[in-house]
Chain A
């Protein structure tokens, strides 16, 4: 085929125009994919964060429920302190013999009764239950559980050294 230089240049221009159009189309497709990927990534991160929060919440609940179950399985008399509700109970197995509202400043855990005295019940870990007036509104000092005196007196004779106290 006999083509003039002008014809060659025009053909080259056309070819370059076609290549450019192809590149524009590819660019557009990649930008669209980037948007989709960014959205999917954001969703995945959100879902991962949600799953992490659910996991943390469930882990805490599971730990609480396991402590509750351990408390319920303790067939002898024991103390159970629900820190969230501020509720101390004397229990035997699953039976709640007596429950009362208390103020406490103790962490979660399982402790043993170490000594039973008229003015305090000492637990392992340096914690103590102390009797207070029925209308007491003083915040508990660190490591103590403030128990209304009538409940303290009713619970005390049922405790023995070595019994468990579940704080959950």
Chain B
């Protein structure tokens, strides 16, 4: 090996090679740095997007959770016991939430009309749809027939109607008169004897061809044993009650009240509280 080679060529070549390598590395490093900066920027952007998406998702999720929680914890009407009556199905349900606590067949309003003689007015016998409330619970209720009952009875039996009032005397047979004595509609005979009328549904007081409409408050305007052992009063003359005509259950035959079997009204009386809503549809 010559001195020139030993002293200059080898170290010089090595230096040149190393300088070239360092130069290439420097150039490569610049590309990598640019790539890294771009990635850093992209990640910062991704992170911002992520934060924004998470924040938005949280707002919606919180709203949803809050809505569901408020519903679950609310003392809603559906979570308290209520009665539902279907006129179309003639059926009653006692429910709480989605649970059916009791159900049975009922009779509801017939939907028929009755003319009020000589007035042009009429009654319609339908069970009212909507929301009613159990206002009162009665034991051994008596039925106080409304005017339509006498109108209907008179039309069935082809009789005239006469409204008996206090102090009024309706002449009967053999000098007797029909009048009011105390809380009774009585037949007063010429010898002073007074015999109270015995009435029941379908056998109302009559004199000749006149069917008597006893005034409210008399015993003859009060029928016992026709509504079963109990009644849940719903207001405006409507009620859920028992019946002395169990064959009518499951049909649309009532004058507007909701009839159930006598054993069912006893069950309902024991499980339904005053204030319970009744939804009739």
Contacts and interface: CB of A to CB of B under 8 A. Distances in A.
Interface of A: 4-6, 9-10, 12-13, 16-17, 19-20, 23-24, 26-27, 30-31, 33-34, 37-38, 40-41, 44-45, 47-48, 51-52, 54-55, 58-59, 61-62, 65-66, 69, 72, 77, 90, 92-98, 150, 153-155, 157-158
Given A48-B49, A55-B56, A62-B63, A13 B14 contact: yes
A159 B88 CA distance: 14
A51 B43 contact: no
Interface in B66-95: 67-68, 71, 76-78, 82, 84, 86-89
Given A65-B68, A154-B86, A92 B279 contact: yes
Contacts of B8: 5-6, 9
A111 to B, nearest CB: 20
B166 interface: no
B32 A34 contact: yes
A44 B281 contact: no
B78 A33 contact: no
Interface of B: 6-8, 11-12, 14-15, 18-19, 21-22, 25-26, 28-29, 32-33, 35-36, 39-40, 42-43, 46-47, 49-50, 53-54, 56-57, 60-61, 63-64, 67-68, 71, 76-78, 82, 84, 86-89, 129, 131, 277, 279, 281
Nearest to A23: B25
Nearest to A46: B50
A48 B64 CA distance: 20
A147 to B, nearest CB: 13
Contacts of A23: 22, 25-26, 29
A41 B43 contact: yes
Q: Is the interface of A mostly helix, strand, loop or mixed?
A: helix
B53 A51 contact: yes
Contacts, number: 142
A34 B11 contact: no
Of the listed residues A24, A27, A51, A55, the one surrounded by the most CB atoms of chain B closer than 10 A to its CB is: A51
B67 A65 contact: yes
B131 to A, nearest CB: 7
Please list the 6 inter-chain residue pairs (A to B) with the smallest Cβ-Cβ separation, ordered nearest first. Answer: A9-B11, A16-B18, A154-B88, A44-B46, A51-B53, A23-B25
Contacts of A77: 281
Contacts of B36: 30, 33-34, 37
A150 B89 CA distance: 9
Given A30-B29, A34-B35, A51-B57, A90 B281 contact: yes
Contact of A44 (B19, B33, B50, B78): B50
Contact of B15 (A16, A44, A62): A16
A26 B40 CA distance: 17
Contact of B64 (A44, A65, A95, A98): A65
Contact of B53 (A19, A52, A153): A52
Contacts of B281: 77, 90, 92, 97-98, 154-155, 158
Contacts of B56: 51, 55
B236 to A, nearest CB: 19
Contact of A157 (B6, B43, B77, B87): B87
B22 A58 contact: no
B15 A41 contact: no
B19 A16 contact: yes
B24 to A, nearest CB: 9
B28 A27 contact: yes
